[in-house]
């Protein structure tokens, strides 16, 4: 084309210089673009992307294949759960919190109920059987969550067999959850004061069979990935974050333990009697994505040990505090449509005691009152420290509930892990963080 038709005007924007090309000689257009000091390109990865573990938006500034700046865009899964809790009774809150980190619902429920029980001052009155079952369910939940981390991480790297094995083994645990709580996830099974109901017939045998099956399959992950040179080549020295970086950002969970620091709330600040269980804290010293993979793999083995100990120490007894002003609902049963009020119990209180019927009605509709004050309770979730700050104004509903979700905190490390690395390694780093956006956005 003639030079008279060449037109490549530039204008400055918040994202840098933008060129508007409207014809002209291509050589001149390229020459005009070359006047800029760099070749910075800003791209979006997500929020609809198969390797962002949910609706996470990554804003990447790249120079060729190198990431020069990485930022997280969150909020696409905001559900307002913390605000909704202020309009529900303390017991109804479990139905909301179980939906936050949807891969670790039982950890959400237990942390929330521990905070409520602190406010009520009934921590020492929780039945032993309920406490043991809480530990058992949380450890099964830890295994199922790590299996998803391994499966999705493998899928993103092209290791589809790892994905198939991970989801196959997760089904064993979800079947157990469905037998016990009536649901595969979003259970609302842990309640302030104990549990919604006791184990159904056959649950202990099914759990023992599931543990034996999972233990027999653990070596398959080593064969598939641990010493696989292709797998290691993608993870070793990728997404690095040392101990100083973790401490500066408040990082917990497998990311922190991959630096060699054995920080685990089950050991450092025990709850639910964890100090009485025999298990080791899994660590690695590589500070990279491969170390996080090894930590999660070993944690699954340790969780199986804890589950077996729970089964051995299960003794007959109640699973809810004796105080009927707190124990809500009075009786539950598993029906064809899930968990609900026991019809036998409803018939009993309707036919024999008007006072029991009134009390049941008030407890279900109005809820119990919690003394004024505030409490903090934390558990070691599959992703790190999951804390709950609960505030009461002596009402039947929370004044404020705030969660310290580990996925939200751990996502801060994304920039430190990715900047200076390759675009392809961003996927590996995010898989190593294992964020769950339901917990991030809440």
Give yes or no for a contact between 441 and 248, defined as CB atoms under 8 angstroms apart: no
User: Do 311 and 414 reside in the same domain of the chain?
Assistant: yes
Kindly state the tokens that stand for 68: 């020069």
User: Do 27 and 150 reside in the same domain of the chain?
Assistant: no
DSSP, res 198: P
Q: Give CA–CA dist 295/293, Å, rounded.
A: 5
- Cα 219 from chain centroid (whole Å): 25
User: Do 210 and 300 reside in the same domain of the chain?
Assistant: yes
User: Do 16 and 110 reside in the same domain of the chain?
Assistant: no
Q: Name the average pLDDT for the chain.
A: 85
Closest CA to 221 of 149, 156, 131: 149
User: Do 261 and 388 reside in the same domain of the chain?
Assistant: yes
Q: Give CA–CA dist 290/239, Å, rounded.
A: 9
Quote the number of domains for the chain.
2
Q: Give CA–CA dist 126/163, Å, rounded.
A: 39
DSSP string, 14-26: TTEEEEEE-SS-H
User: Do 299 and 204 reside in the same domain of the chain?
Assistant: yes
DSSP, res 185: S
User: Do 147 and 25 reside in the same domain of the chain?
Assistant: no
Write out residues in the chain with pLDDT < 50, as ranges. Answer: 1-6
Domain for residue 70, yes or no? no
Cα–Cα distances in Å, from 314 out to 107, 307, 384?
Answer: 20, 11, 27
User: Do 14 and 94 reside in the same domain of the chain?
Assistant: no
Q: What's the chain's Rg over C-alpha atoms? A: 26
pLDDT per position as a tens digit, 117-131: 999 998 889 999 999
Give yes or no for a contact between 432 and 231, defined as CB atoms under 8 angstroms apart: no
User: Do 104 and 244 reside in the same domain of the chain?
Assistant: yes
Q: Give CA–CA dist 123/192, Å, rounded.
A: 10
* Domain of 272, in residue numbers: 86-328+367-441
Question: Listing from the earlier edge strand, what are the strands of the sheet with 66-73?
Answer: 41-45, 57-63, 66-73
Q: Which residue shows structure tokens 């024999």?
A: 352
Domain for residue 2, yes or no? yes
Domain for residue 136, yes or no? yes
Residue 338's pLDDT is what?
65
Pairing of strands 41-45, 194-195: unpaired
Q: Give CA–CA dist 68/47, Å, rounded.
A: 20
Q: Which residue shows structure tokens 């029991």?
A: 356
Pairing of strands 8-13, 41-45: unpaired
| Bridge partners for 334 per DSSP | 339
* Helices 128-157, 160-181: inter-axial angle, 10-degree rounding: 160
What is the domain-level CATH number for residue 219? Answer: 1.10.645.10
Domain for residue 307, yes or no? yes
User: Do 257 and 377 reside in the same domain of the chain?
Assistant: yes
User: Do 3 and 126 reside in the same domain of the chain?
Assistant: no
Alpha-carbon dihedral of residues 318, 324, 327, 332, nearest 10 degrees?
70
Domain for residue 31, yes or no? yes
**CA-based angle 104:390:109, to the nearest 5?**
20
Domain for residue 80, yes or no? no
Domain for residue 81, yes or no? no
Burial of 293 (0-12, 13-18, 19+ CB in 10 A): buried
Q: Give CA–CA dist 439/98, Å, rounded.
A: 10
Half-sphere exposure of 250 (CA within 13 A, CB side): 11
Residue 306's pLDDT is what?
94
Residue 5's pLDDT is what?
41
Domain for residue 47, yes or no? no
Q: Where does 368-422 show beta strands of DSSP type E? A: 373-381, 384-392, 400-404
Question: Phi first, then psi: what are they for 66, rounded to 5°?
Answer: -95, 135
- Cα 373 from chain centroid (whole Å): 28
What is the SS3 assignment for 194?
Answer: strand
Cα–Cα distances in Å, from 176 out to 171, 281, 340?
Answer: 9, 25, 19
Alpha helices in 69-199 (DSSP H): 81-84, 93-97, 105-120, 128-157, 160-181
Q: Residues 203, 205, 211, 213: is their CA dihedral positive or negative?
A: negative
Give yes or no for a contact between 431 and 156, defined as CB atoms under 8 angstroms apart: yes
Residue 406's pLDDT is what?
92
Residue 415's pLDDT is what?
87
User: Do 141 and 4 reside in the same domain of the chain?
Assistant: no
């Amino acid at each position: 084309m003639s030079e008279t038709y060449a037109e490549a005007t530039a204008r400055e924007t918040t994202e840098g210089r933008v060129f508007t090309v409207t014809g002209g000689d291509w050589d001149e257009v390229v020459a005009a673009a070359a006047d800029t000091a760099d070749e910075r390109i800003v791209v979006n990865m997500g929020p609809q992307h198969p390797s962002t573990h949910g609706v996470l938006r990554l804003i990447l500034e790249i120079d060729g294949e190198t990431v020069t700046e990485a930022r997280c865009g969150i909020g696409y899964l905001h559900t307002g759960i913390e605000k909704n809790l202020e309009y529900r009774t303390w017991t109804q809150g479990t139905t909301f919190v179980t939906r936050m980190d949807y891969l670790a619902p039982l950890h959400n429920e237990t942390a929330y109920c521990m905070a409520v029980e602190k406010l009520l001052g009934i921590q020492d009155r929780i039945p032993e059987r309920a406490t043991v079952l809480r530990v058992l369910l949380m450890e099964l939940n830890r295994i199922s969550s790590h299996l998803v981390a391994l499966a999705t991480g493998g899928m993103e790297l092209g290791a589809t067999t790892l994905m198939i094995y991970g989801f196959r083994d997760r089904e064993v645990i979800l079947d157990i959850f469905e037998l016990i709580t009536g649901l595969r996830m979003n259970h609302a099974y842990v309640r302030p004061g104990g549990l919604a109901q006791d184990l159904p017939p056959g649950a202990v045998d099914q759990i023992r069979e599931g543990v034996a099956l999972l233990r027999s399959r653990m070596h398959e992950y080593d064969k598939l990935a641990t010493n696989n040179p292709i797998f290691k080549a993608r993870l070793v020295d990728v997404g690095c974050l040392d101990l100083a970086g973790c401490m500066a950002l408040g990082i917990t969970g497998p990311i922190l333990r991959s630096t060699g620091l054995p920080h685990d709330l089950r050991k450092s600040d025990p709850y639910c009697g964890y100090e009485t269980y025999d298990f080791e804290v899994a660590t690695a010293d590589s500070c990279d994505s491969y170390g996080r993979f090894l930590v999660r793999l070993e944690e699954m083995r340790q969780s199986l040990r804890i589950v077996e100990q729970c089964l051995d120490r299960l003794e007959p007894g109640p699973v809810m505090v004796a105080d009927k002003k707190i124990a809500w609902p009075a009786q539950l049963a598993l029906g064809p449509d899930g968990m609900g009020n026991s019809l036998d119990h409803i018939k009993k209180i309707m036919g024999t005691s008007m006072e029991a019927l009134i009390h049941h009605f008030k407890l279900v509709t109005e809820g119990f009152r919690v003394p004024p004050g505030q409490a903090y309770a934390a558990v070691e979730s599959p992703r790190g420290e999951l804390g709950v700050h609960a505030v009461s104004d002596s009402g039947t509903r929370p004044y404020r509930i705030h969660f310290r979700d580990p996925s939200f905190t751990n996502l801060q490390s994304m920039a430190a892990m990715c900047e200076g690395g390759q675009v392809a390694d961003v996927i590996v780093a995010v898989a190593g963080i294992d964020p769950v956006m339901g917990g991030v956005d809440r």
